[in-house]
Each structure stands twice: as structure tokens, then as C-alpha cells.
Amino acid sequence: MSVLLTENTKIVVQGITGSEGSFHTQQMMEYNTKVVAGVTPGKGGQKFNETVPIFNTVKEAAAETGANASVIFVPPPFAADAIMEAAEAGLGLIICITEGIPAKDMVKVYDYIQDKNTHLVGPNCPGVISPGIGKMGIMPAFIHQQGHVGVISRSGTLTYEAVGQLSARNIGQSTCIGIGGDPVIGTRFIDALKLFNEDEDTHAVVMIGEIGGSAEEEAAEWIKANFKKPVVGFIAGQTAPPGRRMGHAGAIISGGQGTAADKMAAMEAAGIHVCKSPADIGKMIEEVL
Amino acid sequence: MNIHEYQAKEILKAYKVPVPEGYPVFSVDEAVEAAKKLPTDVCVVKAQIHAGGRGKGGGVKIAKTKDDVKGLASEILGMTLITHQTGPAGKKVNKLLIEQGIDIDRELYLGMVLDRGSSQYVMMASTEGGMEIEKVAAETPEKILKVWIDPGVGLQGFKARQLAFGLGLAGKQVGNAVKFMMALYNAFDANDCSIAEINPLVVTKSGDVLALDAKINFDDSALYRHKDILELRDLTEEDPSEVEASKDGLNYIKLDGNVGCMVNGAGLAMATMDIIKLAGGEPANLLDVGGGANVETVRNGFKIILSDKNVKAVLINIFGGIVRCDRVAGGVIEAVNSMDINVPVVVRLEGTNAKEAAVLLQESGMDFIVASDIADAAQKVVAAIN
């Protein structure tokens, strides 16, 4: 088993004809992911790679193909609209890869989807992969291995680093969720942890945070009260200076809040196995399993 | 993106936020002329740099009469202002704001920012105006009043009134403060601001409410729809190498150490900095070459890293996903070949086509130090310096 992306997930790709969208759709299909439809307004009726039907709207795509999940590669000015379109169409899982969506747009999206029955992952994230089942996103599939460790991360390549360390030790993953590096995101650490808590096939979780905000502290508190499985944690940005935005829009220490030290202390207090070095993530999981 | 106080006040004024009358000037003569236009005899001379703490650093002075403006302007203009936000090198003052004096009754605080916890914008007010708000938040959080703004309807009058009454305002002060808050919200919303701080927000003895100081930052992701705001960018206030890097689509942040870093992805870049520090070194920068690392970006990255004279060794840490490591290796070889690089270069390439990349580096006959993993890379680069 796995979370979010399972055997029953049928995917529509929004922005399938763009350069990013078409390249990654190809990669997703090579990994045997069930891509059943694409959406590019104005290109309805065409086919992607002569196999995947393209529609003008998500609603049509879902009605015609039974798609129940979307992955979005739409450029930033149109991405918020694309998320809301997918939510309105009733898709239960929406993964937005797009980087650089204005925060104001995401505040509106977040509000809009509150009463919709959907999981939004991202934006500005590598996506979700359930090894052996499929991938919705831009992560390199070949570094993954099917198994029982869940991975939740605010970062992209740092997630690959952690997964690489796991697979090198023959420790497979149930699902890896890149929740994204923006200030406003759909799925937060706690939402992902709840899913892994209920998933019998997930035996332990790797949680990779960053400086900025207080999501890691809140997750730590929740873990202490509710989480039944061992958690290994790492926080990137231990050496970051305050007031500087460290690449991700969300990665900034402001007003003394959001430091790595605070987050690591909160995680340790919650019984999480915190790695000081990013090189120790794989080793630490091996120890706790 | 950050702008000057006088620019922030011009934007606010356009949205009917009350601000003191004032004029930006670039010379002492202009300062004297500006003072003549002001309605008050008392004038304020304010250094315009992108940093807080200007008052404490001696960059804000009150002229008791217009005759004093000349002396104060020549004192501040051209000085290097050092505040807790400028760093030890300080910032040279090239512009002044000459403003009317205000008959202050109370100094308050008003701010607006994105609250990540609720994913909504929040407006905050405090009676502790003029203080560092971070300090107030840490020591007396009960003195900060907050209202969250419903994204569907925007700031409503009743929420502004909650803040106004909460601040202990009375009579016509309340109406003026509410008008001020609604106008500030409109300015923030229309311009995709990421932060707006009015500190202090002053109540005058006649009951007017206005912005004595104003700090506005913009959401970089939204600048594509605000060409007018992009024109307010003052490159002289930014680190020249960071400006250069942004032209090449690279994300570069200069730090104080001596290990230059080139990494793909912000999270891995931060983690690389962390592990260098754990190995006993100090990172000289964060450089994220992004998802599309190629020969060009690697060469530009090298150029920027080596422009920092403190750099004594370079660590390249790439986890190739979509990026192919053999292409990055090709870029590294070409860059080292075409440039005069006389510091040790440690390379760690992992992920897509990592084996092919290792072969390329070996066959190049160049003096790369090849690392097997992230910990090995950090140890080797620190060893190379010592």
C-alpha cells in the first residue's frame, strides 16, 4: 500500500503540452503511472503521444476518463486558476509542481479548497511518488525503491539525497511526499503524517524540514500526542543568517522565529530522532527500524 | 523586493493612506529647497537606505527650524550609516527624505503580513510604537493585537474597529485609524506586498492618524504583474554579486566564510552549508543553480563564487534528477578549463548519470577532488583549505 498515490489513482496532467508538462508526463508514463488524460485549454480533441486524450477543461477530462487526480505544470500566472479548476471538478488529489505562484493567489486558493473534498500537495514541490505504483511529479524515479518508509519534505533535491541514502541501504519507501517550499501550501507535515499513521505499510517516517515558519514545531507536537511510528528528522538551514530568504520563499528566519535550533529542539522533545548532519538520515532510519 | 521609505510613502499616499508631507532629495541644496515647501517650521531629515535602525545610527535628525536643515543634510548625506540591519560595513547615504514635523500625541504600531499558520493575511497593531516589534512579540505578546483577513471579503470595517478600540483610541481618532487601516489594506492588496510596517503610526494632538515611518516589501513572485514597482528597485542597495547572479537566473546569497558552494536546489544548498559547518568549515555563500544546471549556469556560478576573494576552495554538490550529472561534469570541466581557477575544487555528483560523470572528471586530467557522498565532500573541502 501507499498513501495519496495508489493503484486506484488515475491522473490528468494540467499543462500537458507545455515543455515541462510534456517532458515529465513522458517520464511518469515510463514509470507505468496511470496517466489517463491531459488538459490544455484550446487543444481539446488532440492526443499526447498519440495515446493520451487532451481536453479543454478538467471537468470534461474527469467525466470522460474517470480521472481522480491531477498534476499541474501550468506557469505561475495561471497555476492558481488551474488548482481551483481541478478542485471544482471534484478531483481528490491535486499536486501542483509550479514554482513562483504569488502568495496572494495561494491565499485565495487555500480558502477556496477548504470546503472541497481534495488533498492539495504543493505548490513549488517535486510531487509525490509511490515506488512501484507511480509518480506524479519531477523526481528521478530510479533512485527510489518500494518499501515501508514514508518521506515528507519541504525540499526537492534534499529529498532525493535522503531517498538515495535509504535506497543505498536497501530500505524502500512507501510514499515520498514533497510538500513544497512556499509559505502557503496545501498539505502540511501534519496532514501527511496523519496519512502515514493510518497506512499499515508505512513503518517509519523521514521528515525533512527547513528554516522559516512553525510547521515543524506544530508537527512535532502532533507527533508527540498521536503518531505511532518512529520518525527521523532533519532541518536544513542550521547555518542560515536571519532575515535572508534562502532560496525558497518560505525559508526565512524572521523576527527570531523559524530557526533550525528551535525546530530541532521541538522535534527532539517530541521523541523524533533528529539528525544534525544531512548525511545521517539513512543511517538513523536503519537504527530505528 | 525592498524599497525606500519615501517610495513606500508615495505608494501609500496614492491609496489615501495619510503620510506627512515630504520630498526626496539628492543634495544639500535640494534639501534646503524642499524644507521651504513644507508647512511646518520644524523639519525632519531622514537618511534613505534599505535598513532599519536609522534613527539610532544617527541617520534621522530633527531640524528645529528650516535654517538647521542645511547643516543636518550635509551631515547625513554621504555618511556611512551602520545599523543592526546594515552589517558592520554599513551603507552609504545617497538620498534624504525631508519631511514636515508632526505634533505627536501617541506612537503606535501597525503591520500587515502573511500568517503561514492560517494561510491568511493578518493585520497587527500595538500600543508599543517606535519599539522593535520583534522584541514586543517575544517579551509581551499580549500587547500585539491581531485580526485575520478573510480572503473572500477582504478587510472589514468591524475588524479595523477591533484594532482601533483595542489600541485605546477614542472620539475622532477611531474613525481616522479605521480609514487608515482600510487604506493600508487596499495598498497592500493592490500591490502584492509581502509585508507592510508602519512604525510608528502616530496620533497627532489634533486627532489625526498618519504614518511617520513606512516599510514595504513586495512578493517577488508577483512582480511580473507590477512593472511600475519593479522600476523602484534600487540596485545600489543590493549586493553587486547577488544582482549579477540574479541576471543569470542563479540564486546567490553571500555569506562570511571561505568555502564556495554550488548546489542544485535550495534545500540541498542549505543542507550543504550545514554539513560544511559540521565539518569545521564556514560557507562563503549559498548558490542554487536550480533545476536546469548546464554548462552555462555552472560557468556563471563559478564566476560569481570566485568573485568573492574570501573563497579558498569550492564545493560542487549536485544531486541529479532531471539534471544529468554528466552534463554538469562537462560544464565544470569547461569552466575550469576556460577560467583561471587556483583554488581546490571538490566535486560530488550523485543521481542521474553519476557514473558517466565520474569517468568524465577522471579522464579530464584535471585536479578535481572527487567525493563519494555529501559527508565525504564536506570533509574533503575543509581538508583542502587547511
Q: For residue range B82-112, list pLDDT tens digits in order.
A: 887 777 788 899 999 999 999 999 999 999 9
- Asked if residue A158 and residue A111 are part of one domain, the reply reads no
Whether residue A170 is contained in a domain is answered as: yes
- Asked if residue A257 and residue A162 are part of one domain, the reply reads yes
- Asked if residue A91 and residue A155 are part of one domain, the reply reads no
Share the mean pLDDT of chain A: 95
Task: Look at residue B291 and tell me whether its pLDDT is greater than 80.
Answer: no
- Asked if residue A51 and residue A175 are part of one domain, the reply reads no
On whether the pTM is more than 0.80, the answer is: yes
> Per the CB < 8 Å rule, is B267 touching A210?
yes
Label residue A134 by pLDDT band (50, 70, 90).
very high
- Asked if residue A204 and residue A95 are part of one domain, the reply reads no
B109 carries an active-site annotation: yes
Q: Which of residues 33-62 of A touch B (CB under 8 A)?
A: none
Judge if ipTM > 0.85. Answer: yes
Whether residue A193 is contained in a domain is answered as: yes
- Asked if residue A165 and residue A233 are part of one domain, the reply reads yes
In A, minimum Cα distance to B273 occurs at A239
Annotated active-site residue in B109, B121, B185, B252: B109
Whether residue A264 is contained in a domain is answered as: yes
In A, minimum Cα distance to B377 occurs at A279
B155 touching A, CB under 8 A? no
Chain A CB contacts of B151 below 8 Å: 107-108, 110-111
Chain A CB contacts of B134 below 8 Å: 255-256
Which whole-number Å values give the CA distances from A220 to A17, A225, A272, in the listed order? Answer: 41, 9, 8
- Cell numbers at residue B365, please? 586530467
Predicted local confidence at residue A204, as pLDDT: 97
B121 carries an active-site annotation: no
- Which residue range(s) make up the domain with A281? 144-288
More confident residue, B69 or A257: B69
When divided into structural domains, chain A yields a total of 2
B119, B137, B265 ranked by CB distance to A107: nearest: B119
Whether residue A163 is contained in a domain is answered as: yes
Mean pLDDT computed over A149-175: 96
- Asked if residue A185 and residue A80 are part of one domain, the reply reads no
Label residue B71 by pLDDT band (50, 70, 90).
very high
Whether residue A127 is contained in a domain is answered as: no
Predicted local confidence at residue A260, as pLDDT: 94
Chain B CB contacts of A213 below 8 Å: 116-117
Q: Which of residues 192-251 of B touch A (CB under 8 A)?
A: 192, 194, 219-222, 224-225, 251
- Asked if residue A150 and residue A95 are part of one domain, the reply reads no
Residue-wise pLDDT for A54-96, tens only, equals 999 999 999 999 999 999 999 999 999 999 999 999 999 999 9
Annotated active-site residue in A24, A119, A203, A248: A248
Predicted local confidence at residue B340, as pLDDT: 81
**CATH code, domain carrying A239:** 3.40.50.261
B253 touching A, CB under 8 A? yes
Whether residue A130 is contained in a domain is answered as: no
Q: How far A197 CA sits from the closest chain B CA (Å)?
A: 22
Predicted local confidence at residue A21, as pLDDT: 95
Whether residue A3 is contained in a domain is answered as: no
- Asked if residue A76 and residue A19 are part of one domain, the reply reads yes
A85 touching B, CB under 8 A? no
Predicted local confidence at residue A255, as pLDDT: 67
Q: How far B26 CA sits from the closest chain A CA (Å)?
A: 29
- Asked if residue A58 and residue A111 are part of one domain, the reply reads yes
